[in-house]
Copies of this chain bind each other. A is one copy, B any other.
């Protein structure tokens, strides 16, 4: 396999989803030159996010390579969704390990390009290098109108905190994949899918971004206990969590590993749900509209408050108790 022949094969894969209609006209130049070229929207801001995933840390090389690609792309699309933006294109830096086969690479690209294409985003370039462990660094560019851009620092004391889905299923799937937990049936399958092929909440993000009642938004990629703290701090607030929405798959799987399913939801991370700070006045109406549109609830989990720090108030202790962030920190040793 030479670089030129592999690039030609990858190019065929990433252009396949556009085979019917051709690549979108705004993609002026995709894979094959020094850089890719596109026509940005004249009325929108551009957004960019980069996420890297490493074998043994964020995925397992024993996983289906399509799932590895899917998962890496999902992490990036989730960041774009968290700004309220629409993805447009992606670049992929792939580090292949000594034993990585050409088939593995092609399947991985099918996974990542396939997920991107679901949201009409296309892979336009990247790089392939040799690394000791398979590494995928993906960059996604998206667009959002200035009025719909949602940052994480716009929350205000009194805002309702809400999340687009229950949490902890991805961690449950990881424990199953590692053989530390064992379970069968529909919920175990849901856990495995949540870990291997998570769904980025791109449509939900766009929908929530259209509401002026949504003051701040981010994704829950590093675990609720870490990410809610980040949003609250960025907004100059503290937060009280009154309800931890535990995914049924976490409830089903965690006990077999001797774990607390609540910890999966609070600290597991990589669920790629979005959470938002919504004005108390606007929440009920927004939640009703959201549920009617998506057929699933926008789950209230607490509120922002002036008092700094993070409190868990879902149990009987008066005033709640301090919540120690124990979510994903890539560098904690």
A interface list, Cβ under 8 A from B:
1-4, 6, 28-29, 32-42, 45-54, 57-58, 78-80, 82-83, 85, 89, 91-96, 124-133, 135, 137, 139, 141-142, 144, 149, 151-153, 218-219, 230, 234, 329-333
> Is A331's CB under 8 angstroms from B48's CB?
no
The CA of A329 and the CA of B130, in the complex, are separated in Å by 11
Interface centre among A41, A42, A125, A153 (most CB of B within 10 A): A125
- Ranked 10 nearest A-B pairs via Cβ: A93-B137, A35-B49, A137-B137, A34-B82, A132-B132, A40-B40, A50-B91, A52-B93, A139-B139, A34-B79
| Contact in complex: B219, A149 (CB < 8 Å) | no
| 28 A-B pairs (CB sep. < 8 Å) | A2-B329, A6-B331, A33-B152, A33-B234, A34-B49, A34-B79, A34-B219, A35-B48, A35-B49, A36-B47, A36-B49, A37-B149, A38-B46, A40-B45, A48-B89, A48-B91, A48-B125, A50-B93, A51-B127, A54-B131, A91-B139, A130-B330, A131-B131, A131-B135, A132-B132, A132-B133, A135-B137, A139-B139
On whether the beta carbons of B132 and A53 are closer than 8 Å, the reply is no
In the bound complex, how far is the Cα of B137 from the Cα of A38, in angstroms? 21
Q: Check A45 against B35 for contact (C-beta < 8 Å).
A: no
Residues of the B chain whose Cβ atoms lie less than 8 Å from the Cβ of A89: 48
Q: How far is the CA of A38 from the CA of B42 in the complex (A)?
A: 12
Contacts of A234 in B (CB 8 A): 32-33
Out of B53, B83, B127, name the residue touching A35 (CB < 8 Å).
B83
Picked from B51, B132, B141, the residue with its CB within 8 Å of the CB of A141 is B141
Set of chain B residues within 8 Å of A79, measured between Cβ atoms? 34-35
Chain copies in the assembly?
2
CB atoms of A36 and B52 under 8 A apart: no
Which residues of B have CB within 8 Å of A6?
Answer: 331
Question: For the complex, what is the distance from the CA of A93 to the CA of B50, rounded to whole Å?
Answer: 7
- The answer to whether A141 touches B48, judged by C-beta atoms less than 8 angstroms apart, is yes
Quick one: which of B45, B124, B139 contacts A37, CB cutoff 8 A?
A: B45
Give CA–CA (A283, B329) in the complex, Å: 56
CA distance A126 to B39 in the complex (A): 23
**Best-buried of A2, A35, A38, A92 by chain B (most CB within 10 Å):** A35
Is B33 in contact with A218, judged by CB distance below 8 angstroms?
yes
Q: Note all chain B residues with C-beta closer than 8 A to A333.
A: 1
Question: A45–B38 Cα gap in the complex (Å)?
Answer: 6
Question: Which residues of B have CB within 8 Å of A36?
Answer: 47-49
Per the bound structure, the CA–CA distance linking A48 and B26 in Å amounts to 14
Chain B residues in 8 Å Cβ range of A153? 33
Q: Judge whether B40 and A129 touch: CB under 8 Å.
A: no
Chain B contacts for A129, CB-based, 8 A: 52-54, 57-58, 135, 330
**Are A83's CB and B37's CB within 8 A?**
yes
Most chain B C-beta atoms within 10 Å of own C-beta, residue among A36, A37, A79: A37
